[in-house]
Amino acid sequence: MILQTTLSLAAAAAVMNVWLAFRAGKLRFNTKILHGDGGHPMLMQRMRAQANFVENTPFVLFLVAAIEMTGKGGSWLAIVGSVYLLARISHAFGMDRNDANPLRAVGFLVTALTLLGLSTMAVMIALGRF
């Protein structure tokens, strides 16, 4: 069984993680901070944006793969995963700002709703209700 949705989302997530690392790395290079955030607020924010991505994305990918393996996925699953990744881009740009802002808020909200929605769907499938 080829998990096309999972493979596509995992590939996109990997590229996105490289992009997030590059953003932090470029700032690290420009500020000559080799370790940690060096007390530089923007570097800390970019590091947290990448860390937050890494903290949440494996759960999303695992749930997508599990749902897809049951055969209950379909195009809705690809759409959910794509919206999640777009929201993570929004979150990353929102983390560059020092104020409360809609980019970060949307990123968080979509992440939370994606995790809750996929978890609910997984339980419903496991109980035979979907």
Judged on CB neighbours under 10 Å (0-12, 13-18, 19+), 78 is middle
Q: What are the φ and ψ backbone dihedral angles of 32, each rounded to 5 degrees?
A: 60, 35
Tokens representing 15 are: 């590229």
Q: What is the CATH number of the domain that holds 116?
A: 1.20.120.550
Q: Tens digit of pLDDT for each residue in 45-79? A: 999 999 999 999 999 999 999 999 999 999 999 99
pLDDT surpassing 90 at residue 80: yes
The pLDDT of residue 110: 98
Report field, pTM of the whole predicted structure over 0.85: yes
Report, in angstroms and rounded to the nearest whole number, the Rg of the chain calculated over CA atoms: 17
The structural domain count of the chain equals 1
Mean pLDDT of the 14-41 span: 96
pLDDT surpassing 90 at residue 1: no
Minimal CA–CA distance to 54: which of 28, 98, 19, 79? 19
Mean pLDDT across the chain? 97
Domain of residue 41: give its range.
Answer: 4-126
